Amino acid sequence: MKTTLLSTLLMLCLGLPASAYSQLATLNAPSSIETKLTAPDAESGDEFGRAVAVQGSVAVVGAPNDQAAGYGTGAAYVFEKTTSGWQLQQKLTAPDGSSYSFFGTSVAIDGDRIVVGAYGDQNAGNYAGAAYVFVHAGSQWTSEQKLTGSENSAFDSFGISVAIQGDSIICGAFGNSDFNQGEVGSAYVFQRIDGVWLQQQELTASDAASLARFGLSVAMSEDTIVVGADGDSELGFFSGAVYVFAFDGSKWIQQQKLHAQDARESASFGYHLALSGDTIVAGAPGDEVGNHTRGAAYVFSRRAHGWLQDRKLVAKDSDVFDGYGLRVAVSGDTIAVGSAFDHDAALYGGAAYVYTRSGQSGWSLHEKLFASDAARDDAFGCAVAASNNTVVVGAFGKSDIAFYAGAAYVYEF
């Protein structure tokens, strides 16, 4: 029963053995500036805020249930911070958008390019999946290319996760099922050559197994790629794992497989990932504290001989199935962890925890965020993104404009 309930909640959002328990933050006197983002054409069920990304003064918000060409067509909205504050710059849609594509399920940005995942795209059958690349030209974002995997087939869910850095893109396909096994998973790396995105390599786990769901989450930074496999069962059913790949100059090589030091069954370690420089953050929303499922986020640091677990972040004030660790983000010395079903501000209203790193003291809670207009079922924290001192938090259940129209919140520290 526990595994079934946890799986339902999860799909709603879809070295130094130390543990850092966050201290309870107050609901008032926040140290950050909040800006609420919404879609000007919001409709019931859009779920604006399901996915978020931010880099500098540009934020991208996914609304995978936008109904432009039928239910679940999807959209992504680009906002830019100007002298007048955060303003909508453009609404992005798939050139070939159709119902149940869920364009906007995942989003990523780097420089003048945005990648949007559409895991329901039917290019090779139901839920084969695709990803779309947009480039900023002049004052507009224009469609550059549609990406699909070389092995795309029904239910691969290519594009469930995306990441971009420079001329490289990685797209997860957790449903890829090789050797007659279900949800083995893979991830595809694309390289931009002479203005065209070409598949460079398909990544798979060295110990690929059924239900591992390799590719459910991906992240990229410099010459490192990390891929989550929350269904990996090496240390217990759905205990989870994270695979680290390094670029050797010609191809990506699996360098290491990471587990939580206190790995346990149903933790779903690697359900979501973030990577910045020498820091990996892996969410484990099914992790148990005592005998209760409260979730955790694990921080790994790159050392001379590989990646080692540095800290385990756990919300001391969390309740059972708050969803802590469903989404994680990291940028430099800032980590954000979503807790989409937190009850402190409102029943299932959600929260996000922001941690900062300073010197020898390591990671400590800077602030627990709640939406200033928190309401029941907001699911605030279902998506998080960070860029320097800016954190963006999605709340796909926000219903003040229309039922489950959604919202996103920008916090500047």
Which parts of 138-260 are beta strand (E)?
140-147, 161-165, 168-173, 186-193, 196-203, 214-221, 224-229, 241-247, 252-258
Please give the pLDDT value at position 1: 39
Amino acid identity of 247? F
C-alpha radius of gyration, the chain, whole number: 19
- pLDDT tens column, 265-321: 999 999 999 999 999 999 999 999 777 889 999 999 999 999 999 999 999 887 888
The domains of the chain are located at: 2-31+96-374
Tokens (6 digits) for 225: 């790629």
Is pLDDT at 93 greater than 70 in this prediction?
A: yes
Average model confidence (pLDDT) for the chain?
Answer: 92
Instruction: Give CA–CA dist 31/23, Å, rounded.
Output: 16
CA separation for the pair 210, 229 (Å, rounded): 11
Query: For 207, what's the count of Cα atoms within 13 Å in the CB-facing half-sphere?
Result: 13
pLDDT of residue 26: 39
Buried b (16+ CB within 10 A) or exposed e, 13-24: bbeeeeebebee
Query: How deeply is 257 buried, as exposed, middle or buried, from its count of CB atoms within 10 A (0-12, 13-18, 19+)?
Result: middle
pLDDT confidence of 28, banded at 50, 70, 90? very low
Residues of the chain with pLDDT > 90: what percent?
86
- Give how far the C-alpha of residue 262 lies from the chain's centroid of Cα atoms, to the nearest Å: 23
Q: Which of 25-39, 87-101, 363-377 has the lowest mean pLDDT?
A: 25-39
Q: Find residue 147's DSSP bridge partners.
A: 131
Instruction: Tell me which of 26-35, 56-65, 224-233 is least confident.
Output: 26-35
pLDDT value, residue 32: 81
Q: Using an 8 Å Cβ cutoff, are 294 and 319 in contact?
A: yes
Residue 264 predicted with pLDDT over 90: yes
Q: How does strand 85-92 pair with strand 113-118? A: unpaired
Please name which of 364, 322, 369, 372 lies closest in space to residue 347, comparing C-alpha atoms: 322
What is the H or E stretch that residue 6 is in? helix 2-12
The predicted structure's pLDDT at residue 286: 96
Cα(411)–Cα(413) distance, integer angstroms:
6
| Residue with the larger pLDDT of the pair 24 and 36 | 36
Residue 97 and residue 106 in contact, taking contact as beta carbons nearer than 8 Å: no
Query: What tokens appear for 255 in the block?
Result: 């360098």
Q: What's the whole-number mean pLDDT along residues 234-262?
A: 97
300 CB-contact burial (10 Å; exposed 0-12 / middle 13-18 / buried 19+): buried
Given CATH 2.130.10.130, say whether it is the number of domain 2-31+96-374. yes
Do you know the residue count of the chain? 413
Backbone φ and ψ of 294, nearest 5°? -120, -15
Mean pLDDT of all residues in 373-383: 98
- 319 burial class (0-12, 13-18, 19+ CB within 10 angstroms)? middle
Q: What does the pLDDT read at residue 29?
A: 45
Question: What whole-number percentage of the chain has pLDDT above 70?
Answer: 92
Banded model confidence at residue 68, pLDDT cuts 50, 70, 90: confident
User: Cα 218 to chain center, whole Å?
Assistant: 8
Q: Tell me which of 23-32, 317-326, 358-367 is least confident.
A: 23-32
What average pLDDT does the segment 89-102 reach?
Answer: 97
Measured CA to CA, the distance from residue 12 to residue 126 in angstroms comes to 20
**Would you say residue 408 has pLDDT above 70?**
yes
One-letter amino acid for residue 372 of the chain? S
Determine the 3-state secondary structure of 136 from DSSP.
strand
Residue 258 has pLDDT above 80, yes or no: yes
CA distance 89 to 402: 22
pLDDT of the residue at 346 = 97
**pTM, 2 dp:** 0.93
Pick the more confident residue, 385 or 139.
385
Q: Are strands 306-315 and 252-258 parallel, antiparallel or unpaired?
A: unpaired
Rounded CA separation 309/99 (Å):
42
Nearest to 303 by CA among 217, 244, 235, 359: 244
DSSP 25: P
Cβ burial 171-208 (10 Å sphere, 16+ → b, else e): bbbbbbbeeeeebbbbbbbbebeeeebebbbebbbeeb
Q: pLDDT tens for residues 124-157? A: 999 999 999 999 998 999 999 999 999 999 999 9
Is the confidence at residue 160, as pLDDT, over 80? Answer: yes
SS3 content of the chain, % helix, strand, coil (to 5): 5, 55, 45
Nearest CA-CA partner of 209 in 187, 179, 235: 179
